[in-house]
Structure 1
Amino acid sequence: MKKIGFLSFGHWANHPAYSTRTAGDTLLQSIDLAVAAEEIGIDGAYFRVHHFAKQLASPFPLLSAIGAKTSKIEIGTGVIDMRYENPLYMVEEAGATDLIAGGRLQLGISRGSPEQVIDGWKYFGYKPAEGENDSDMGRIKGLKFLEHLNGVGFAQPNPNPMFPNPPGLLRLEPYSEGLRDRIWWGAASNATAVWAAENGMNLQSSTLKFDESGKPFHIQQAEQIRLYKEAWKKAGHKREPRVSVSRSIFALINEQDRQYFGREGRSTDQIGVLEADRRAIFGRSYAAEPDQLIKELAQDEALQEADTILLTIPNTLGVEYNVHVLSAILDHVAPGLGWR
């Protein structure tokens, strides 16, 4: 059994073929899609976070709105770039969102990926400390965020406060119990996956990673997940970890599907340079008739290792079509793979 969620990049543009021509369109349709996805049995609504782009950027208002209009579906991110964040303020935002959602927040964070502008985090008022780089800064902020999710007091109270204080050091409020166990780290390498396990975070592995062996993408990703699980066990954490992988999967049910995605099925893994001249491998897309999809996906080793599958969706094509895309996977593909 797998949990099946969707992952939206939240694009918009003033294009005649787009249903999301403005930021408002994208935000409101994201809420509507999450509500509809819950109704058809999708387990999670996840959203990408990018800055300086016509894509979703500030996740907590959106996730709070979805949390208030749904009751079962998990809500999350994939991922928040910690280089841009104030980790203590983010603890408050995440806590409030999780309480509104009744404990359904699954928050993906990371040290971040290449963005639309050079060193975009500096415009938010951040810079690495002396002797650190921006990756170090992102991971340090991530650990600080985790530390203060535990609800332990750390701040010295004012002896003459506006309102009475409880005894002892003060913690950030609102505190949401259990949220610390629902933080995920987006890892692009084997080493960061191991680091995530050591620090007690769930693992998000997307459709790309650094090419560390020259093997096909799904095999490298499966190896990354196994290393993560071994490190988790070695660290002695008391709970079972969760692992998600992202995939572009389209079941060709009708002519509209074939028009949009008929060529995707011929795609293969792609090699490129992600950053700092590091070779990266990008996983293929899947698009075929349901019976063929089942055969192809059964050979994807990383899908077998993960407990959660995040289906990337074409959010610009509107809520109705995206519900069709998700329903096609639930009805025609997932049962044949034992996911449902």
Structure 2
Amino acid sequence: MPTPDVPLEKLGFLTIGLFDGDDPAPGHENVLQVIELGEQLGFDSAYLRHRHFQTGISSPIAIMAAASQRTHRIAMGTAVTPLGWENPLRMAEDLATVDILSGGRLEPGFSVGPPIHWDDVKAALYPDTADAEDLSSERVARLLRMIRGDAVSTFSGTSGFEEFSARVEPHSPGLAARVWYGSGSARSTRWAAEQGLNLLTSNILKPEQSDLETDGRWDFAAIQQRQIALFKQHHPDGDAARVSQGLVVIPTDTATREQKARYEAYVEKRTPRTVAPMGPPGPGLLAAPDVLGTSQEIAEKLYGDAAFREVREVVFALPFSFEHADYVQILTDMATSLGPALGWKPPA
């Protein structure tokens, strides 16, 4: 196995938090237990996916608020919250509140664009303003201004017996510096850099036609590496700008024979989507191959990944639809075997 020139600095994981629609309580409790386990194992961060009209976490802020009272060190974030579903002002209030409750441990990530199945949900989400809503990157810029404490109300002062502020309250200093942007295209990557945001890269990206190799292949790692380089080029912090990579990584060091068989079937079923972009004519969305094997095998594959070599932080995604015991095994192997194989050390 190659020896890293620079060790991995931060190790995190991402979960969707599945639950039974007829009995949602156990699934939500499992998410909290997974975050607690992550802290016990030394993970630096636990990230939550965001789902609506599905049996996955629809309110990650509520989950993080609960987890903040059951943990003490681990950072918590979203990867990502589609901001088209949210009111930026209310989101700023909730984020600051939970950040304060957690002692400054929130690292929220966002994306923009119309919500999925927009035509089916817009009447319920924005019954009077759907056609007027700005679902572009400006929505994130507006949220950032509110989190940073800019004046957003035209009134401040005393009204009767009550005091009012022109900025969103509460205000949590430092939160704005911990906001991430989930980018998959070169255009959105450059925009995130120019805003001074942190960059979340994942196992899905949107390539350009020019990214197609001369032999007709799509090289996911090479495309992602170019996007990371573009981000650092345009970010005020340059090479010091924070970038985190999120791939689906499944270590099998302590997995049972039955678990390994299920993991292999899962990866095999998903592999065809990594061959070419999915979507309408023209480049759609391209997926990275899932990485399955022992921690030593995974480390070798990651060191051969051009994009991984450009980052010092990772948020490895837990596969969908696995059992709680599977997540315990995967997280334990990540923290005790894979992380150290990548040069990572848990906090003292």
**Structure 1 residue 2: Cα displacement:** 2.9
The one of 197, 205, 219 equivalent to 2:193 is: 197
The one of 245, 252, 261 equivalent to 2:263 is: 261
Tell me what 2:92 maps to. Answer: 91
1:227/1:87 Cα in 2 relative to 1: closer, same or farther (>3 Å)?
A: same
Whichever residue aligns with residue 179 of structure 1, its letter is L
**Structure 1 residue 48: Cα displacement:** 0.8
Does the CA-based 8 Å contact 1:53-1:116 persist in structure 2? Answer: no
2:298 equivalent to 1:300: no
1:64/1:121 Cα in 2 relative to 1: closer, same or farther (>3 Å)?
A: farther
Structure 2: distance between partners of 1:251 and 1:113: 35
Structure 2: distance between partners of 1:59 and 1:89: 14
**Structure 1 residue 258: Cα displacement:** 1.1
2:219 equivalent to 1:216: yes
Structure 2: distance between partners of 1:158 and 1:231: 37
**Structure 1 residue 183: Cα displacement:** 0.7
Does the CA-based 8 Å contact 2:19-2:25 persist in structure 1? Answer: no
Structure 1: distance between partners of 2:35 and 2:108: 16
User: Residue deviations 1:125-179, cap 9 Å, x none?
Assistant: 15253xxxx8x6231211110011111333233776243427xx62111110111
1:261/1:172 Cα in 2 relative to 1: closer, same or farther (>3 Å)?
A: same
Query: Could you say what secondary structure the match of 1:165 adopts?
Result: strand
Tell me what 1:17 maps to. Answer: none
Structure 1: distance between partners of 2:171 and 2:157: 23
Query: Could you say what secondary structure the match of 1:148 adopts?
Result: helix
Tell me what 2:4 maps to. Answer: none
Does the CA-based 8 Å contact 2:30-2:324 persist in structure 1? Answer: yes
1:219/1:240 Cα in 2 relative to 1: closer, same or farther (>3 Å)?
A: same
Whichever residue aligns with residue 207 of structure 2, its letter is D
Structure 2: distance between partners of 1:312 and 1:208: 12
Structure 2: distance between partners of 1:290 and 1:238: 31
**Structure 1 residue 264: Cα displacement:** 5.5
Structure 1: distance between partners of 2:26 and 2:125: 26
Does the CA-based 8 Å contact 2:82-2:115 persist in structure 1? Answer: no
Tell me what 1:7 maps to. Answer: 14
RMSD, matched Cα: 2.5
Which 10-residue stretch deviates more, 69-78 or 251-260?
A: 251-260
Tell me what 1:32 maps to. Answer: 33
2:337 equivalent to 1:332: yes
Whichever residue aligns with residue 309 of structure 1, its letter is V
Structure 2: distance between partners of 1:44 and 1:65: 15
The one of 283, 288, 297 equivalent to 2:293 is: 288
Does the CA-based 8 Å contact 1:185-1:196 persist in structure 2? Answer: yes
Tell me what 2:242 maps to. Answer: 242
User: Residue deviations 1:258-295, cap 9 Å, x none?
Assistant: 12213466647232334686422100001113332222
TM-score (ref. length: structure 1):
0.86
Structure 2: distance between partners of 1:274 and 1:114: 17
The one of 138, 141, 155 equivalent to 1:140 is: 138
1:258/1:320 Cα in 2 relative to 1: closer, same or farther (>3 Å)?
A: closer
**Structure 1 residue 218: Cα displacement:** 1.2
1:43/1:161 Cα in 2 relative to 1: closer, same or farther (>3 Å)?
A: same
* Unpaired runs of at least 5, structure 2: 1-7, 213-217
The one of 148, 151, 156 equivalent to 2:149 is: 151
TM-score (ref. length: structure 2):
0.85
Structure 1: distance between partners of 2:122 and 2:246: 26
Tell me what 1:271 maps to. Answer: 276
* Unpaired runs of at least 5, structure 1: 15-20
**Structure 1 residue 326: Cα displacement:** 1.2
Structure 1: distance between partners of 2:27 and 2:319: 12
User: Residue deviations 1:290-324, cap 9 Å, x none?
Assistant: 33222212111111212221121146444443122
Q: Percent identity?
A: 25
Which 10-residue stretch deviates more, 184-193 or 119-128?
A: 119-128
Query: Could you say what secondary structure the match of 2:110 adopts?
Result: strand
Structure 2: distance between partners of 1:7 and 1:330: 14
Does the CA-based 8 Å contact 1:29-1:318 persist in structure 2? Answer: no
Whichever residue aligns with residue 284 of structure 2, its letter is R
